[in-house]
């Protein structure tokens, strides 16, 4: 059953909602708390306003919950949709957990760890999320956070192992200079070593459906791409995209990283160019005035209106591929509103994420991770913490243990560890990392 767990739970004096238990386990996990020290878009320490991975995850949970409320009303007479829609506890557990595997220094850190693990199964942030939920988390001896099967299915964004998804030609060989490892962006997948967890999550599907759900399609010049995800995951992904395209935009505006001129050229002009296609064209001038008014209240009003717009442009479709509705149903934004959100996201990427000021910090973090990994891999008995040292000695893949350690650090921890090892004037036996 979808509510099964890898390990049984004992000791409760009353029957708890299983998904409420999952949400509590995520919230109280050390991996979740560390998200407050991990980059979302901007470097930590620059301001106390903008979002970290933690506040982003909270926003995704809130948008996910609002989206399921809307779909419950929209499909109140469709029993199949209503009976399979994730409830508040379930969708929030999935949303809160969705980023816990992301390493320090954003996608720069992810690429660095994938390069370091290029000969040993690679690294990918979503794969690490599943690994924490099923193996590394602190609630069960061998099953991580020991979440229900359905919660794990919702967290599972890319149900294919690394070897099925990777296209080694993308990497261009293993001789890339560590000063530029941009070609080592990882495939979207789970790790080979976690395939047994994947099979357990998909246990309720028959063998044919299970293999189809794990299938990939080739993309010329890129890594292979997974095709399917669960109904719950599709809800969370829409909420994640809304938070990224709208809420992260707010950070950039509030901190003065973008101005009304660049916004007008990169977003407004594109939306107004197709008034018959984009419904936002009718209100985009009003939203622009509010966003760049300099008043927090008016900016928040525009952000709230945009979030509500994208939520109400979401529908549920049936693929007609799987007999189990939990994997056959899919939340889907209308084509025009999806295109509008893509414009928002592209603007944030171009003017914030790929801004030289942000990329310089991300590159610096990436290089620190590379040097830390190399130093620890060559000196594990000297540089690994005691907990990981014991795991290292017993592991089938020792590099995976080092990867688990570094990916679980915060931006600040990784920076202090780097200086403690490599900066001559830094470090003391009394320094606590």
Q: Is residue 146 part of a domain?
A: yes
Answer whether 0.95 is exceeded by the pTM: no
Q: Is residue 181 part of a domain?
A: yes
Q: How far apart are CA 159 and CA 189, in angstroms?
A: 6
Is there a single domain that holds both residue 219 and residue 310?
A: no
Map tokens 């020991």 to a residue. Answer: 146
Is there a single domain that holds both residue 287 and residue 376?
A: no
Phi, psi of 52 (to 5 degrees): -105, 180
Q: Which of 388, 86, 371, 32 is nearest to 237 (CA)?
A: 86
Is there a single domain that holds both residue 395 and residue 307?
A: no
Burial (CB < 10 A; 0-12, 13-18, 19+), residue 49, is exposed
Is there a single domain that holds both residue 348 and residue 277?
A: yes
Asked whether the beta carbons of 369 and 114 are under 8 A apart, the reply is no
Is there a single domain that holds both residue 297 and residue 331?
A: yes
Q: Is residue 317 part of a domain?
A: yes
Q: Is residue 66 part of a domain?
A: no
**pLDDT given at position 33:** 95
Which residues fall within 8 angstroms of residue 116, CB to CB, at 6 or more apart? Answer: 123, 369, 370, 373, 374, 377, 399, 403
**pLDDT given at position 428:** 62
Residue where a domain terminates, one of 311, 332, 356: 356
72-127 tens-digit pLDDT: 999 999 999 999 999 999 999 999 999 999 999 989 999 999 999 999 999 999 99
Residue where a domain terminates, one of 356, 371, 388: 356
Is there a single domain that holds both residue 335 and residue 238?
A: yes
**pLDDT given at position 51:** 60
Asked whether the beta carbons of 433 and 416 are under 8 A apart, the reply is yes
Which residues fall within 8 angstroms of residue 138, CB to CB, at 6 or more apart? Answer: 29, 30, 145
Is there a single domain that holds both residue 274 and residue 243?
A: yes
Q: Is residue 429 part of a domain?
A: no
Phi, psi of 225 (to 5 degrees): -125, 135
**Strand partners for 144:** 140
SS3 of the chain: CCCCCCCCCCCCCCCCCHHHHHHHHHHCCHHHHHHHHCECCCCCCCCCCCCEHHHHHHHHHHHHHHHHHHHHHHCCCCHHHHHHCCCHHHHHHHHHHCCCCCCCCHHHHHHHHHHHCCCCCCCCHHHHHHHHHHHHCCCECCCECCCCHHHHHHHCCCCCEHHHHCCHHHHCCCCCCCCCCHHHCCCCCECHHHHHHHHHHCCCCCHHHHHHHCCEECCCCCCCEECCCCHHHHHHHHHHHHHHHHHHHHHHHHCCCCCHHHHHHHHHHHHHCCCCCCHHHHCHHHHHHHHCCCCHHHHHHHHHHHHHHHHCCEEEEECCCCCCHHHHEEEEECHHHHHHHHHHHHHHHHHHHCCHHHHHHHHHHHHHHHHHHHHHHHCHHHHCCHHHHHHHHHCCCHHHHHHHHHHCCCHHHHHHHHHHHHCCCCCCCCCCC
Furthest-apart CA atoms within the chain: distance in Å: 68
Is there a single domain that holds both residue 319 and residue 346?
A: yes
Residue where a domain terminates, one of 312, 330, 356: 356
Q: Is residue 428 part of a domain?
A: no
Q: Which of 140, 132, 138, 131 is nearest to 196 (CA)?
A: 131
**Residue 396 sits in which domain range?**
357-422
Q: Which of 232, 210, 58 is nearest to 155 (CA)?
A: 232
Is there a single domain that holds both residue 222 and residue 248?
A: no
Q: How many domains does the chain have?
A: 3
Q: Is residue 4 part of a domain?
A: no
* Cα-based angle 228, 231, 236 (whole degrees, multiple of 5): 100
Q: What is the CATH number of the domain that holds 156?
A: 1.10.3210
**pLDDT given at position 356:** 85
Asked whether the beta carbons of 131 and 386 are under 8 A apart, the reply is no
pLDDT along the chain (433 residues), means of 10: 75 74 97 88 47 88 97 97 97 98 93 96 98 94 92 98 96 73 96 96 96 96 97 98 90 85 96 93 96 94 96 98 97 97 93 84 94 97 94 93 97 94 76 62
Is there a single domain that holds both residue 278 and residue 408?
A: no
Is there a single domain that holds both residue 145 and residue 26?
A: yes
**pLDDT given at position 64:** 98
217-238 tens-digit pLDDT: 999 999 999 999 999 999 999 9
Q: Is residue 432 part of a domain?
A: no
Q: How far apart are CA 73 and CA 274, in angstroms?
A: 30
* Cα-based angle 228, 232, 234 (whole degrees, multiple of 5): 50
Q: Which of 359, 336, 331, 165 is nearest to 257 (CA)?
A: 359
Is there a single domain that holds both residue 160 and residue 101?
A: yes
Tokens coding 219: 């993309």
């Amino acid at each position: 059953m979808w509510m099964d767990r890898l390990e049984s739970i004992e000791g409760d004096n009353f029957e708890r909602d299983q998904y409420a238990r999952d949400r509590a386990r995520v919230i109280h996990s050390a991996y979740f708390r560390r998200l407050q020290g991990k980059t979302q878009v901007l470097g930590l320490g620059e301001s106390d306003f903008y979002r970290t991975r933690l506040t982003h995850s909270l926003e995704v949970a809130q948008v996910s919950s609002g989206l399921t409320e809307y779909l419950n009303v929209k499909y109140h007479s469709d029993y199949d949709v209503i009976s399979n829609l994730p409830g508040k506890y379930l969708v929030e557990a999935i949303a809160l957990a969705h980023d816990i595997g992301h390493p320090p220094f954003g996608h720069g850190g992810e690429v660095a760890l994938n390069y370091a693990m290029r000969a040993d199964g690679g690294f990918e942030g979503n794969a690490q999320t599943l690994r924490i939920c099923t193996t590394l988390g602190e609630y069960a001896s061998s099953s991580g956070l020991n979440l229900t099967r359905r919660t794990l299915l919702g967290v599972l964004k890319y149900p294919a192992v690394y070897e099925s998804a990777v296209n080694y030609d993308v990497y261009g060989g293993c001789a890339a200079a560590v000063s530029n490892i941009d070609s080592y962006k990882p495939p979207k997948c789970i790790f080979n070593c976690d395939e047994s967890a994947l099979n357990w999550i998909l246990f309720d599907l028959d063998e044919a459906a299970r293999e189809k759900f794990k299938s990939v399609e080739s993309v010329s010049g890129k890594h292979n791409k997974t095709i399917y995800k669960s109904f719950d995951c599709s809800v969370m992904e829409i909420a994640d995209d809304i938070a990224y395209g709208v809420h992260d935009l707010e950070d950039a505006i509030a901190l003065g990283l973008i101005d009304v001129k660049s916004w007008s050229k990169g977003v407004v002009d594109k939306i107004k160019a197709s008034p018959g296609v984009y419904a936002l064209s009718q209100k985009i001038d009003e939203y622009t005035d509010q966003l760049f008014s300099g008043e927090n209240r008016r900016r928040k009003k525009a952000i709230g209106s945009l979030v509500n717009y994208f939520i109400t442009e979401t529908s549920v479709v049936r693929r007609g591929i799987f007999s189990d509705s939990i994997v056959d149903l899919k939340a889907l934004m209308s084509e025009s509103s999806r295109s509008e959100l893509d414009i928002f996201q592209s603007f944030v990427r171009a003017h914030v994420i790929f801004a030289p000021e942000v990329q310089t910090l991300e590159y610096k973090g990436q290089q620190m991770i590379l040097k830390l990994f190399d130093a620890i891999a060559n000196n594990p008995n000297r540089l690994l913490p005691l907990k990981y040292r014991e795991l290292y000695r017993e592991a089938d893949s020792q590099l995976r243990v080092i990867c688990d350690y570094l990916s679980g650090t915060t931006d600040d921890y990784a920076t202090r560890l780097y200086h403690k090892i490599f900066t001559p004037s830094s470090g003391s036996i009394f320094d606590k990392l």
